Amino acid sequence: MKNFYKFIILSLMVLILTSCQSVVDGISMKKKNNTDQFLIEKKSPLVLPPDFDELPEPASEAKSSEEDEFDIKNVLGQTSTSDENKKTDSSSIKNTIMKKIK
Amino acid sequence: MIKSEKKNIIFNFLTVIVVFFLDRSSKIYILKLAEFESSLDIYVLPNLNFYLIWNKGISFGLLPFSDSFGYMALSFLISFLILIILIMVIKEENNFKKYSLLLILGGALGNLYDRIKYSAVPDFIDLHIGNIHWFIFNVADIFISLGVVCLIYAELFFKKEE
């Protein structure tokens, strides 16, 4: 009887102190621990911003684009005049050189 | 007389250290290998693989505590058992039984160290015949099982001889 108790105590000792694990448990535990799929964030629903009323209206944006076009035309016009000036300058230089040669 | 006692104590201590060192070095080697790969699965022999898994519970994957309280309680129980084994080693007069208990002590300390350091015990020795796999275990488990088998042998046969 004493041997029987000792045998039970020794078996319990093995059960508690060792740490073996079945292959299936080990693999299933790995799958449970793998939380990568939960790292994907869900997209939050679309909500109006709090300062939505303060934003500029679409019509004013169109005006501004027209103004921009006008400005571009002005700039182009200026460049054309500057080109003419450059042409006159170059012709005057030519004339002076020709005069000197003569 | 005192010299022989001292020698005995040193040999006892060395036995525990050797078992602990063998267990630690094997685990460190396997964990280093696992660092390079996400999962460790090494073919060694036709019936032996190294497959790393972590055990948070006790034998056969029982009591896998996920909460810290349960895990702490289990660790305290194991520490208490180790203390009892240490007392048994000191009291034991039979050398065969004493060294069997020392094997158990060394292995148990190896597993307890992992429980404290990693909060789980790494198991990696996968013995199998074809598709039939035995439970995955580690070097400390081998020494604990060996010690217990020796103790059972001593209990069964030494008394008969006496």
Assess B40–A contact: CB distance below 8 Å, yes or no.
Answer: no
What does the pLDDT look like over A24-76, one tens digit per residue? 665 555 544 555 566 666 677 788 877 777 877 776 555 566 667 667 777 77
Assess B88–A contact: CB distance below 8 Å, yes or no.
Answer: no
For B7, the token pair is 């020698």
Chain A residues 16-55 with a CB less than 8 Å from chain B: 16-23, 25-27, 29-30
pTM equals 0.65
**Catalytic residue ranges of B:** 123, 141
Task: For residue A3, give the chain B residue with the closest CA.
Answer: B155
| Cβ-contact B66, B136 below 8 angstroms | no
What does each C-alpha distance from B62 to A3, A21, A99, B3 come to in angstroms?
26, 8, 112, 45
For A9, the token pair is 């105590």
What pLDDT does B14 receive?
Answer: 94
Contacts of A3 in chain B (CB under 8 A): 155-156
What pLDDT does A42 receive?
Answer: 67
B151·A25 Cβ contact <8 A: no
Pick from B140, B129, B134: which is nearest to B28 by CA? B140
Assess B70–A contact: CB distance below 8 Å, yes or no.
Answer: no
What does the pLDDT look like over B35-60, one tens digit per residue? 776 666 777 788 888 888 888 877 76
B61·A6 Cβ contact <8 A: no
Band the pLDDT of A78: cuts 50, 70, 90.
low
- For residue B150, the Cα-to-chain-centroid distance in whole angstroms is 14
For tokens 């996920």, the residue is B66
For tokens 């995955």, the residue is B136
What pLDDT does A8 receive?
Answer: 82
Phi/psi zone of residue B93: left (φ > 0), alpha (ψ -120 to 50 degrees), beta?
alpha
Q: ipTM value, please give it.
A: 0.70
Closest partner residue to B144 (CB to CB) among A14, A21, A23 is A14
Which of A18, A33, A34 is most worth mutating to test chain B (most B CB atoms within 10 A of its CB)? A18
Closest partner residue to A13 (CB to CB) among B57, B81, B140 is B81
Which of B105, B142, B144, B160 is most worth mutating to test chain A (most A CB atoms within 10 A of its CB)? B144
What does the pLDDT look like over B97-152, one tens digit per residue? 999 999 999 999 999 999 888 888 888 888 888 878 888 889 999 999 999 999 88
